[in-house]
Amino acid sequence: MLHELRRELNHALKEPALRWLVLIAFSLSTIALLIGALTISHQKDMVLRLEAAVTAERLLTIKDKTDPGDIAYNLFHLTFDPPTDLAFMALGQRNERPWLHRLRMLALEGQIHETNDSNPEILILGQLDFTFFLSVLVPLIIISLLFDIEGRERREGRYELICAASPLGSRVFHIRAAVKSLLLTAAIILPFIAAAISNNLTILAFLSVLGLIFFQIVLWVIFCRIVTCIIPEAVTAALSLVTLWLLLTVLTPIIGKTAVENSLPVPNGGTILLTQRETVNAAWDLPKETTMDAFIHIYPEWKAQATINRPFEWKWYYAFQEMGDQAAQPKSWALYQGMTDRHEAMALVALLSPALFIERAMTELAGTDVLQHLRYVRCARAFHADLRHFYYPYLFNEKAMSENDLAQLPEFEPCAI
């Protein structure tokens, strides 16, 4: 057995096709990890620079100001979703869905849906991160590596001879496939190990990704073995395998996506925006008591200070901003619920598509899927609420803000996964 292994290893190493494929796998794995690492370090760097810029802006904005309404109107705060340690392996939805906002105390529904306006042409081309490499490209490399193992020997007329010469019989080709796959696995995993060490991945994260890599490789090696055993002719086997890849990687997800989206409609963003604007703007024309009564219903503690005597008072202004949010929020939550439902429904599709399964597992581990986006949005909304609750005592007691008061301003803390 050991002898067979050594012989197959020597044999494989001499094969130019295998050398090329292993080299390609190694380079793609490295490039994918590098692109991911560069993207994430760019994002981290951007957060740091923005934090500094926002702090500098804050000092200039609050200079000589004491009116809490005025300060709250002008002061922007940065909220963001910092990339996890594993994000470089699965960039996921980070570019598609905003992970960075500049918020102030105005109605949140008018701000939270703002985007960073990424270049859509770049977005639709996709990204070559490790997840794309593993879920889409690795199967193709495995197919190229394994489709011709028996077929070639048959064409050359050596098939029977090899089977007869080996104590394992025709099972010697399993050994050959295993040896080739192991070499490929090494080429894929080595760059990953280097990246894992330089990024200080936790053992758990490391083993989880390793598990997914093995899962994908073993699965496709099995597919290849089954197909090449059923279809002895190499060309037909190769085409069948590519068709299988197309079916599992492209068609199943598309059909699943179409079905899921049709069965789980979500509210259109346009409705959220229009509702929010109508309620916020209508408040200018409403009797001020109507707004304040609704406000006091939620915040009874400000009942005594809720009478508005002048034509414009900040507390009334911020009260109707929040009332506008209250009106639009159910629609936003329905949208978020719809997105969650769609994500969960796609789990069923992922059972039929290894590529989608890998992508979902990787983005979940890396915290770059839609659920993490929604977690971040909840976090940013909670911060906005903190901000309001911080200012309300100043606004309702009409108390000027001192430097000490401003030092107490809530700071955004990213929520842990």
Partner 1 sequence: MNFRIAYIIARDEWRYWLRSRLSVAALVAASILIVAALISTITQVQTERTTRENFQAEAINTFESQPARHPHRMIHYGHYVFRTPAPLSVIDLGVDAAAGTVMFLEGHRQNSAVFTPNYSSANAGQLAELSPAFAYQVLTPLLLIILGFASISRERESATETLLYSISVAPLELWMGKIIALSGAALMSLLPLSLGLGLAISAGEHAGVAAYMLSGYALYLLTWVFIITAVSSSCQASSTALTLLLAGWIFFCIVISPVASGIASTGGAYEGKVVSDIAVQQALRGSGDGHNEADPAFDQFKMQLLQQYNVESIESLPINIRGMISKNAEEKQTQILNRFSDRRMEAARTQSRIVYWFGLLSPALALKNFSMNVAGTSLSEYQRFQHQAENVRFDFVQRLNNLHAEQLSYSDDINRSKDHQSEQRTRISPVHWKMLQPVAHHEDNEQERVSESLPHFIMLFFWCVFGAIWSVTRATRGAANAA
181 versus 353: smaller Cβ distance to partner 1:
353
Tokens of residue 24, six digits: 């390609």
Show the binding pattern over residues 294-313: x = contacts partner 1 (CB under 8 A), - = does not. Answer: ----------------xxx-
Q: Which amino acid is at 36?
A: G
| Interface region with partner 1, contact rule CB under 8 A, candidates 184-192, 204-212, 332-340, 392-400 | 332-340
Determine the size of the site formed for partner 1 (CB under 8 A): 97
Phi-psi region of 106 (alpha: psi -120 to 50; beta: other; left: phi over 0): beta
| Alpha-helical runs (H) found in 14-165 | 16-62, 68-74, 120-124, 130-132, 138-146, 149-155, 159-165
Out of 194, 229, 235, 286, the residue judged to bind partner 1 by CB under 8 A = 235
Q: Name the residue nearer to partner 1 (CB basis): 52 or 207.
A: 52
**354 binding partner 1? (CB under 8 A):** no
Is beta strand 77-80 parallel, antiparallel or unpaired with respect to 100-103? antiparallel
Site stretch for partner 1 (CB under 8 A), options 174-182, 190-198, 322-330, 335-343: 335-343
Q: For residues 134-193, which are near partner 1 according to CB under 8 A?
A: 135-137, 140, 144, 148, 151-152, 155
Q: Backbone phi, then psi, for 66, in 5-degree steps?
A: -130, -15
Give dist(CA 129, CA 114) in Å, integer.
26
**Could you tell me the smallest distance in angstroms from the CB atom of residue 318 to partner 1?**
15
Kindly tell me which residue out of 5, 182, 260, 327 binds partner 1, with binding defined by CB under 8 A: 260
Longest dimension (CA), the chain: 102
- Scan residues 27-86 and list those touching partner 1 (CB under 8 A): 28, 31, 35, 38-39, 42, 46, 49-50, 53-54, 57, 60, 76
Residue 101 within binding range of partner 1, rule CB under 8 A: yes
CB atoms within 10 A of CB 17: 13
Q: Please, what is the minimum distance in Å from the beta carbon of residue 124 to partner 1?
A: 5
Determine the interface stretch with partner 1 among 174-182, 192-200, 268-276, 397-405 (rule: CB under 8 A).
268-276
CA distances from 246 to 125, 225, 250, 277, 360 (A): 18, 18, 5, 46, 18
Indicate the SS3 state at residue 173: helix
238 is a contact residue toward partner 1 (CB under 8 A): yes
144 with 21: CB under 8 angstroms? yes
Length of the chain: 417
Using the rule CB under 8 A, give the single segment among 211-219, 263-271, 298-306, 313-321 that binds partner 1: 263-271
If one asks whether residue 261 binds partner 1 (CB under 8 A), the answer comes out as yes
- Residue 323 CA to residue 280 CA, distance in Å, equals 7
Whole-number Å distance between alpha carbons of 56 and 224: 59
Judged by beta carbon, residue 302 or residue 328, the one nearer partner 1 is 328
For residues 134 and 144, give the distance between their C-alpha atoms in angstroms, rounded to a whole number.
Answer: 15
Q: Contact with partner 1 (CB under 8 A): which of 33, 75, 87, 100?
A: 100
Cα–chain-centroid distance for residue 403?
A: 40
Is 348 a binding residue for partner 1 by CB under 8 A? The answer is no
Strand partners, 101: 79
**Nearest approach, Cβ of residue 166 and partner 1 (Å):** 24
By CB under 8 A, tell whether 333 contacts partner 1.
Answer: no
User: In this chain, which of 69, 87, 105, 132 binds partner 1, going by CB under 8 A?
Assistant: 132
Residue 210 found at the interface with partner 1 (CB under 8 A): no
Q: Is 334 in the site for partner 1 (CB under 8 A)?
A: no
Q: Which helix (H) or strand (E) holds 212?
A: helix 203-230
Amino acid symbol at 99 = W
Region binding partner 1 by CB under 8 A among candidate stretches 4-12, 111-119, 386-394, 399-407: 111-119
Instruction: Look at residues 218, 310, 230, 328 and name the one whose alpha carbon lies nearest to residue 273.
Output: 328
Minimum distance from residue 167 beta carbon to partner 1 (Å): 29
Q: Which stretch binds partner 1 (CB under 8 A): 157-165, 273-281, 395-403, 405-413?
A: 273-281
